[in-house]
Amino acid sequence: MSHSVHRLHLASVNIPSRFQTRERYLESRVDVYAYLVITRSDVLLIDTGVGEGSPYIERKFAPHRTPIAEELARFGLQMADVNIIVNSHLHFDHCGGNRLFPNAEIFVQSAEWSIAHTTGYTVTQWCDYGSARINTISGDREISAGIRLLSSPGHTPGHQSVLVETDDGNVLVAAQAAYTADEYKRGGDPVEQAHEGLEEAYLQSISQLKSVMAQEVYFSHDVEAVTLQAS
């Protein structure tokens, strides 16, 4: 299959006190990761980090950004090489760089696209702008050979994860279907991490993602991966 998956560090952000919950989630700064998938025919980016130009985001979250161009350059790539973007969801720290990729089609779940246009959910202009090439989907879908979107609502109404077939086994970018590898292994902390009213969906999504039996599982805010143990 010759697909490869690579973690990119795009930012760190402060977590204001009103977003902090139980003790294990209390951290002054949280890292923001995207994932680069390189195939023979496509260069795909899962999430694009924190955008610029929002005084509210700068004041409340104090982002420290790593330029996406620098991260791509580590793999000999330029912004124009990215032809597919998958937004796991549309919170401000996952879609802020979308507009930097003029050649990319963007895949997002329909439920996520709808809630992104409600007041206070995200910085809407970071995902909905004149040149955006948006593909809204509902549910699971293969978008390229060996790359499948998996609907995983819970953290948000339209959260999605990405399953990638590689020569070494399947890799799952769970994104923020679970906040940490430890939480994923435990089965989820929906009271702390689920969108209001989606606690049960949060648990179900983690269970369904586990059933995929991916060799590696990666997350948006945790450098630790979950590795499938050989039997």
pLDDT digits (tens, 9 = 90+) for 181-214: 999 999 999 998 999 999 999 999 999 999 999 9
| Superfamily in which the 4-227 domain is placed by CATH | Ribonuclease Z/Hydroxyacylglutathione hydrolase-like (3.60.15.10)
Tell me the C-alpha distance between 62 and 216, whole Å. Answer: 31
Buried b (16+ CB within 10 A) or exposed e, 135-161: eebeeeeebeebbbbbbbbbbbbbbbb
pLDDT digits (tens, 9 = 90+) for 17-58: 545 555 566 567 899 999 999 999 999 999 999 999 999 999
Q: What are the sequence ranges of the domains in the chain? A: 4-227
Tell me the C-alpha distance between 190 and 152, whole Å. Answer: 13
210 in helix, strand or coil?
Answer: helix
Tell me the C-alpha distance between 40 and 89, whole Å. Answer: 26
Tell me the C-alpha distance between 43 and 73, whole Å. Answer: 13
Q: Angle at the Cα of 48 (from 226 to 121), degrees rounded to 5?
A: 95
* Global confidence as pTM: 0.94
Q: Angle at the Cα of 43 (from 38 to 46), degrees rounded to 5?
A: 90
